[in-house]
Amino acid sequence: MENKSRRDFLIKAGVGLGGVALSGFLPGGGFFYAPAEAATPFDPLAPKQPHFPAKAKTVIWLHMDGAPSTLDLFDYKPELVKRAGQSVPAEYTKGIKTFTQGGVGKLFVSNKRTWKQYGESGAWFSDLVPNLAQHADKIAFIKSSVTIGATHDISILKLNTGDVNPGRPSLGAWVSYALGSANPDLPSYVVLYNDKQEPRAGSANWNSGFLPAVYQGTAFRPGDSPILHLDRPGYIAALEQRKSLDLLKKLNEKNAARYPDDTELQARIRSYELADRMQTSAPEAVDISKESEATREAYGLNDEATKSYGTVLLRARRLAERGVRFIQVVSGPAVPEGEFRNWDAHSKLEENHGHNAKMVDKPIAALLADLKERGLLDSTLVVWTSEFGRTPWGESGDGRDHNPWGYTQWMAGGGVKAGTTFGATDDIGLQAVGKTVDTYDLHATVLQQLGLDHLKVTFLNSGRSERPTVVYGEVIKDLLA
């Protein structure tokens, strides 16, 4: 049998023998990749050493979809309260060339907002996040975040890939490429979301760009069957599938011996074996049924308002325990069938943020406490991110527009300097002042905590040596313990 036709046979045979469950992990299905030109058997997910001792082993990246108003969560501005209802003074808008589509309205504050300082750090939290406030001294705030673009699709790409155009690898893909997998039975990069549908722009935000496809994120869906097509078809017994895989492996190994320079078959063997192991390990990793009632209560699984987001955060903790390198969690809708599907509050900010903050506040607080109690917070870097912030002026009477010029993000655990604040916005919370932190700087800092020099993580693409931070990026050393 010719080599090509035999390979076709194996692919078809794999599908016929239970490969339906596995085919999503094969070349073209998006999971395993091996370069045909490689000279020796090649495992792209083999563990790799960092450049220097790492402070963090795992990243849990919390993306607040839709862009919260951090002016209403963490960035208390007495001057904004004082000037509410007035026009924006011209001195605050210097350097801003293009305003967002809503124009510039009067300065706005909610008459329901209250603020309080917490912990020894004295960090300010609003009434929207009372549970998270209890962990003030675990958090390192970045209050001078900036980005480019003021539309969601552009800024989400920038946040995840460092570029405003599709095609570059996401940060999680770079981490997977640079460090490989710490658990051979699970993907090294997992994406979680608490919605029936993928988050906006979908896989563009966790793809591998020009890196091999094996490094892209694997999306785990909500529900009891988190990985599409992973379940073994009911009409195939476990022993039958095992025998089929053994036969395929034997045939592939025999053929591989005849063509030692062709590594595709070795890669295919490994992909089948990995998918077979994941049929057991992945469902167990995300099975929260055996978690204690106290843990379920802490994450908010007994409350419909927090249940969906609490579930994905509890799964994130379980994946971190099992060595998954990069876990990206995208917040889903607070009111699935209503108008408050994310934090994008161009109107009715009080109601919107009331729902969304309630959905995430208790679960995130539980995650920080849980990681701490299990001794995992030191080795797990939690990053709270958004595509941008919101303006200090109002829109639609009771909402806020997009603000890429100054907003808050934060990190906790993983060797960051807890109970600190880096940077600031001006007195009304419109623009960052002093040293700013762009996406590239945030990415460089995260890589630093994983033991990676962002300047040395490179991949040759079309003759150009590419790196995660493009040609920018500076580690924010003031954030590091």
Q: Tell me, what amino acid is at 49?
A: Q
Residue 319 and residue 327 in contact, taking contact as beta carbons nearer than 8 Å: yes
Give residue 107's pLDDT: 97
Query: 419-457 pLDDT, tens per residue?
Result: 999 999 999 999 999 999 999 999 999 999 999 999 999
Please, what is the Cα angle at 216 between 211 and 221, to 5 degrees? Answer: 170
Q: Say which residue, 196 or 29, is predicted with more confidence.
A: 196
Is residue 55 scored above 80 in pLDDT? yes
Strands (DSSP E) found in 148-205: 189-193
What average pLDDT does this structure show over 376-401? 96
Cα–Cα distance between 323 and 316 in angstroms, integer?
11
The more confidently predicted of residues 418 and 224 is: 418
Selection from 333, 316, 334 nearest residue 325 by Cα:
316
How many angstroms separate the CA atoms of 274 and 7, rounded?
Answer: 19
Q: What is the pLDDT of residue 82?
A: 97
Q: 287 φ, ψ to 5°?
A: -80, 110
6 pLDDT more than 50: no
Nearest Cα to 174, choosing from 166, 185, 162, 184? 162
